[in-house]
Amino acid sequence: MDSFGALNMTCEWTNKLHAFHDGELAASECERVATHAAGCAVCALELDRLSRTARFLKAASIPAMRPMATLRFRERIAADNTARLARWLTAAAAAVILGCSTAMLSMQSAPAHSPRIVTAASTNDSLASIMLTVVPGNEFASAVESVDPLTLAVARDAASVRDDGRE
């Protein structure tokens, strides 16, 4: 049979041939496919094509990696570590500078009565962790403008409870 002419001929077993060729079938099924292929010209040709293609692909001898490439990798790891250390040091330095600046500013502009930060916690998730600055006299000086009345009431209660506890 002309192999080119049979290129597109199929058999219902064709799908199984690939798994058979790849050694992915169970032993019992292997036997069935082998028996079928022995008597089916289409499957025999397909198996032969699979083998020839595999042999061609495997014959491509891939050259080994140059030793220099391994050295380059070591250099890149070292460079990556240096960059990571530099990033960490920059972040640490920035944090120290920010901390010092904040401390100096607060020392310079500290009012007679320092505001207290009150956290109004609520069991309701939507109201949780609201930070409000409270000035003496229990007034909310810089309450978040968008806070709804209910939130504000909860925060005010919490503030007064906290104040009661402290003073």
Backbone phi, psi, residue 141, to 5°: -80, -45
C-beta of 54 vs 96, nearer to another protein:
54
Beta bridge partners of 120: 130
Site for another protein contains 58 (CB under 8 A): yes
How many residues can be counted in the chain? 167
Nearer Cβ to another protein (80/139) = 80
- Segment interacting with another protein (CB under 8 A) among 32-40, 75-83, 100-108, 113-121: 75-83
**DSSP state letters, 15-78:** HHHHHHHTT-S-HHHHHHHHHHHHH-HHHHHHHHHHHHHHHHHHT--PPPPPHHHHHHHHHHHH
Measured from the CB atom, the residue of 3 and 138 that comes closer to another protein is 3
Q: How far is the CB of 56 from another protein (least distance, A)?
A: 4
* Span of 33-41, 63-71, 107-115, 127-135 interacting with another protein by CB under 8 A: 63-71
- Per the CB < 8 A criterion, the answer to whether 134 and 164 are in contact is no
Binding site for another protein (CB under 8 A): 3-4, 7, 15, 18-19, 22, 24, 48-66, 69-70, 72-74, 76-77, 80-81
